[in-house]
Amino acid sequence: MHELSIAESVVAAVCERAGDRRVHSVRMRIGAFTAVVPDAMQFCFGLAVEGTVADGARLDIEHRPGAVHCRACGADTDLADMLLLCPCGSADVAVTAGRELQIVSMEVG
């Protein structure tokens, strides 16, 4: 359950920036290749905010699909899973999207 550690990191980061202000919502970007499950993230975020200035805050998650660039044929392809293969059959690919794990913004006031 690494989502709990991640939720604690997110809450610590936003609370530090919020100071005394109340955090109403937090927006995260989570890529398909990060091993972070959005439902588990929501659950753990709800636990991690308890007793902080973000208590009760809503978590909005932007899901980013994975994508690769093929060095053999030059094609860019969206991938539904982590089998890093270009449709041309080449495994010589660079991951161009799907590894995002970011705090995008927060709403305070």
Partner 1 sequence: MRATRRPSAPHDHPHAHSPATETISLEEKVLARNDAIAAEVRSRLAHRGIVAVNLMSSPGSGKTTLLERTIRDLDGDRPVAVIEGDQETPLDAERIRRTGCAVVQVNTGAGCHLDAAMMRAAVNKLDPSPGTLLFVENVGNLICPALFDLGERAKVVIISVTEGADKPLKYPHMFAVADLVLVNKVDLLPYVDFDLDACRRHVSAVNAGARVLALSATRGDDVDAWYDWLTAPAIR
Binding site for partner 1 (CB under 8 A): 1-2, 5-6, 9-10, 12-14, 17, 24-25, 28, 33-36, 81-85, 91-93, 101-109
DSSP structure class, residue 70 = E
Answer yes or no: is 88 a known binding residue.
yes
Our CB check for partner 1 shows the closer of 39 and 81 to be: 81
> Side chain identity at 32, as an amino acid letter?
A
**What is the C-alpha to C-alpha distance for residues 52 and 54, in angstroms, rounded to an integer?**
5
Give the position of tokens 């200035």: 53
Answer yes or no: is 63 a known binding residue.
no
- As annotated, the binding site includes 2, 70, 73, 86, 88
